[in-house]
Structure 1
Amino acid sequence: MAGAAATALILTPGTAFADRGGGNAQGSGTQTSGNQRGGAIESLVTFSGSTGGGGRAKTGNVRPVGDWDPPACWYEPRTPDQFGKSVEDTYNETVNYPGQHGYAKTAVGQYRDKYKDGEYTDYNKDKADEGNWWVAVRDEDRWLEPEAQICDEQPFWVENGDDPGVPNAVTPEVLAELAYNRLQLPETEVTLAPEENTKVNLPTWAWLDKATFKEVDVTAQLNAGGLNIQATTTAKPVSLRLEPGTEDAETYPASGECAINDDGSIGEPYAKGKANQTPPCGLKYLRSSGDGTFKLQATVTWEVTWAGTGGAGGDLPNGEFGNEQAVIVQEIQSVNR
């Protein structure tokens, strides 16, 4: 399902406009949230693809492994008409907003004058065939993070064919990283046998349904300002990590990492007649959980790759997603005669 990214346009670094009732206090760098009413320029990047799990299955965002995050801000092109409309809309909203502070009206007026009647003329509409404006947008969910402040350039003009010359200018790779941040992965609830509760020193089998844990992908596309690029980011499950929730337990295999099988499943369902076998994926508790439960943490590792316009592509950091589930462990009762 396609949709525009929720972002904010940076208008004038170092200038603060009054809050317009959308719940976002304006901070360093003037921003108008894309989901507030008025003249904000939202990102024109759209996203489509799998949410992983489908139907009523619970899903969640992938968590990158290691010290890496997708961009919190980036630059996109706009035609002179698009850029001009956004500035005019923001100007009109600001000056007409009831109770707006005078300094905000002055700031947005000076900003408008620069591109309309000052350093530039009418937003360079007479040069529409020669180039485009490039504007900075921020991910609305991260706009207060320090990483979102690095895109602090005021809108600038770029001739057709020229390099924008700024970090985080949108490319297929940037789109792939943005798509990474929108990957929805299925909730990691393993099936256990015994199902209701297990016993001390009894091997417990664990597995994941191959129909649920399959590749998921998200495609990000941008068609704006003469730029038409896209990238598809794909996550593939590669292993399941089991953490029993207590040190008094063993895992199968000993590392706790269950690799994916050739058919896409992880682990093996328990079947009658396997009671004396060691599960290929599972665990064994060495003491009772008493009146409580142990919190079994099951985490799937996903291998992430991308492919984009012009044959570009490569690897992105692995991702993880998991959750806890309660396990009751009882003592095996014996009867003495």
Structure 2
Amino acid sequence: MLSSGGFSLKALASLILACSFLLAYSSGELPLFDERGNRIALLPVHELKGEKYILLDDLCPAFNARQRYVPITGEILVLIRGHRVKLKIGSRDAVVDGFSRRKALTRAPLLISDRPALPLEFITDLLPELLGVSISYDPSRSALFISSPTAPAPERGGVIGVVIDPGHGGPDDGITLRGISEKELTLKISLKLSEKLRERGFRVLLTREGDEGVSRLARINAASASGADLFISIHLVPSISPLKRGFRIFLNRPWREVEIEGAAAPVELRATQSKLDKLAERLKAELEGLGMNGAIYRLPLSALAGLNVPALLFEPGFLTNDADRALLTDDDFLSSMADAICRAIEGVYGEGKGR
């Protein structure tokens, strides 16, 4: 083996590589402040080639999360506020809640001293969507700031307000079957419903009015800031059985069971739960009057969690069922269904009073 003064070239190369790594690597601490300026956590941070990483073991306690790392496969699972986030060492893909959402990080998780570490953007870009908060990084102060989204309540003027949330949008197609995408159909239903509600004097806000991607946090913030009386999220549903059909109405649970830490503080929904129950029953009856069949469920769905507005999730049918799909692609039927929803809302909340 070639050597220089008893020192092998291989050893020299290893030493140079180690020195270059040390020059590119540094560590420090990253404070996390709340909106009042109180320091609520101090995260050890590791900087590699100008990019910041936080060890999973340090990140999870700070955000009340649990984690599991499988060294053989490099797979990482983060459990936080009812969400499951799957990542992998060396991969930029983050899979949220069982493939229902994917997010591409600009930097992949890596190992630091054989321990998994996540890039800073996991905290600033992905966690806000899961926690319903705003998290920003100030490079001039080398600090993180977390705050609840707040907005002044708008003047309502006695007009009943309804937020309509068309599911999916943008790169998120939802279910796609035989050329029909969930994002297009939920938007079409939502636009028809919003038009008919406005004709009846209701104040209506759509979380999206075109084919744009809207994060769950943005939907929550829009509803929370609107001062609305009701939030309706519209989705469609698939089934492995083509025979399964019918509508489904999901109600949110009382706020203590669905509160998201840091989200705009949920109101006490127990006082409005009775009215929401009546709306679900009235809506079910109206839809059955159109020849539809369905059921009401009361489950803590993540799509409704963290809202400070009484909310329901409405799935008008199964795209995987031929009969449901035929109805949901019929403009006349969609108009009749929108009228039925309006009648149900008027029957419980009264007229919009905006005419």
Give your verdict on TM over 0.5.
Answer: no
Q: What range is the shorter-chain TM-score in?
A: under 0.3
Q: Which has the larger radius of gyration?
A: 1
Where is the helix percentage greater, Structure 1 or Structure 2?
A: 2
Query: When you count strand as a share of all residues, which structure comes out higher?
Result: 1
Which gives a bigger RCO, structure 1 or 2 (Cα 8 Å, sep 6+)? Answer: 1
- Give me the TM-score of the superposition, normalised by structure 2: 0.24
